[in-house]
C-alpha cells in the first residue's frame, strides 16, 4: 500500500512534474508474468525514477543495512525503502549470497517484476561497469526474460555523495527482452553465466550510450580513491570475486 501511495499520491506527481522523465520502449514491458528489469546504476534516484516509469510494482533487492538503522532516521530510511519496493538481503557472501538468489527466485515465481542492478553498486563516475553474474543465474534458474533498462542523466542530477538532486530532465529507456532459455540448465556454468551477463551489459551500453569499462564498479571506486593502484591488478582481483 505504501508503495502505491508514494508513487501515485506523494512523490510521483511531484517528481513527474519537476523532472519530466522521457520514457522510451515501454512496449517492451510485460503486462503480466515474471521478468527481471536489469538497470544500469548511476544514482540513488534510479530506484525512484524507475518505478515511476513502470505501471506494475517492481521489487528490488537492497542491502540489509538500509533496514537496520537505529533511531528516527533509521526508521525513516527503513520505511522509505519498504515503500519504494525494496526487500533486504545480506550481501556478505557465502550462504548469504545463496539466500539472496533464492529470495529473488521466489519473487519471480510469484509472477512479480524483479529489479536488479547488475553492476552491484552505483557507478562512481557515470561509466558502465562489468555486470555480476548473479543476474544471469537468477534469470536462468527462474526461466524468465531479462529486460535491460538504461537510466539516462541520473548521474548528472545526483552523483554519489550529492544529497539533493539537481532539477533537470532524465531519461528511461527499456530495451527488448533478452531470452535466457538458450542457457537453460547452465545456471552453475561460469562461462554461460558470464556470456549471458555480457549480453545484458552490451544492451545497456547501446541503450544508454555509456562508456563501458570491463572491471567491477567496486574496483573502479578503489582505483579512483587511490590513483596509484594498478588497474590490471584490480581487474585480476575482480575476477576472483565472480559469482
Q: Indicate which CATH number applies to the domain containing 138.
A: 3.40.1130.10
Asked if residue 52 belongs to a domain, the reply is yes
- How many structural domains comprise the chain? 1
User: Which is more confident, 80 or 141?
Assistant: 141
Asked if residue 173 belongs to a domain, the reply is yes
pLDDT of residue 123: 96
pLDDT of residue 51: 92
Range with lowest mean pLDDT among 2-16, 19-33, 141-155: 2-16
Distances (CA, A) of 26 to 30, 83, 217: 9, 23, 28
Asked if residue 1 belongs to a domain, the reply is no
- pLDDT grade, residue 87 (50/70/90)? confident
- Gap between the Cα atoms of 173 and 171, Å rounded: 7
Question: What's CA 30's distance to the chain center, in Å?
Answer: 18
Range with lowest mean pLDDT among 52-56, 83-87, 185-189: 83-87
- pLDDT grade, residue 163 (50/70/90)? confident
**Quick one: 38 exposed, middle or buried, by C-beta within 10 A (0-12, 13-18, 19+)?**
buried
Mean pLDDT of the chain: 88
Asked if residue 157 belongs to a domain, the reply is yes
Stretch 114-136: mean pLDDT: 95
Stretch 100-120: mean pLDDT: 92
Kindly report, residue by residue over 13-50, the tens digit of the pLDDT: 999 999 999 999 999 999 999 999 999 999 989 988 99
What angle in degrees, to the nearest 10, is found between the helix axes of 134-142 and 95-109?
40
Asked if residue 5 belongs to a domain, the reply is no
Residues of the domain holding 110: 21-239
pLDDT of residue 231: 52
Asked if residue 51 belongs to a domain, the reply is yes
pLDDT of residue 156: 96
pLDDT of residue 134: 92
pLDDT of residue 68: 79
Asked if residue 204 belongs to a domain, the reply is yes
Stretch 184-188: mean pLDDT: 95
Asked if residue 171 belongs to a domain, the reply is yes
pLDDT of residue 96: 63
- Beta bridge mates, 61: 87
Amino acid at each position: 500500500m505504501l508503495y502505491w501511495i508514494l508513487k501515485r499520491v506523494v512523490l510521483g506527481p511531484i517528481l513527474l512534474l519537476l523532472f519530466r522523465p522521457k520514457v522510451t520502449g515501454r512496449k517492451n514491458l510485460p503486462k503480466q508474468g515474471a521478468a527481471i528489469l536489469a538497470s544500469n546504476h548511476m544514482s540513488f534516484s534510479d530506484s525512484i525514477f524507475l518505478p515511476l516509469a513502470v505501471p506494475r510494482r517492481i521489487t528490488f533487492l537492497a542491502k540489509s543495512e538500509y533496514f537496520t538503522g537505529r533511531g528516527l532516521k533509521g526508521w525513516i530510511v527503513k520505511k522509505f525503502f519498504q515503500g519504494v519496493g525494496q526487500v533486504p538481503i545480506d550481501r556478505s557472501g557465502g550462504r548469504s549470497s545463496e539466500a539472496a538468489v533464492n529470495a529473488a527466485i521466489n519473487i519471480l515465481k510469484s509472477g512479480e517484476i524483479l529489479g536488479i542492478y547488475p553492476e552491484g553498486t552505483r557507478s562512481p563516475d557515470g561509466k558502465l561497469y562489468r555486470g555480476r553474474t548473479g543476474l544471469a543465474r537468477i534469470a536462468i534458474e527462474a526461466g524468465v526474460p531479462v529486460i535491460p533498462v538504461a537510466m539516462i542523466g541520473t548521474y548528472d542530477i545526483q552523483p554519489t555523495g550529492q544529497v539533493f538532486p539537481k532539477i533537470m530532465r532524465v531519461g528511461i529507456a527499456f530495451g527488448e527482452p533478452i531470452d535466457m532459455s538458450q542457457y537453460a540448465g547452465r545456471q552453475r556454468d561460469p562461462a554461460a553465466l558470464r556470456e549471458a551477463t555480457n549480453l545484458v551489459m552490451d544492451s545497456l551500453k547501446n541503450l544508454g550510450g555509456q562508456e563501458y569499462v570491463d572491471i567491477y564498479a567496486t574496483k573502479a571506486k578503489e582505483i579512483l580513491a587511490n590513483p596509484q593502484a594498478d588497474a590490471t591488478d584490480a581487474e585480476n582481483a575482480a575476477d576472483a570475486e565472480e559469482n
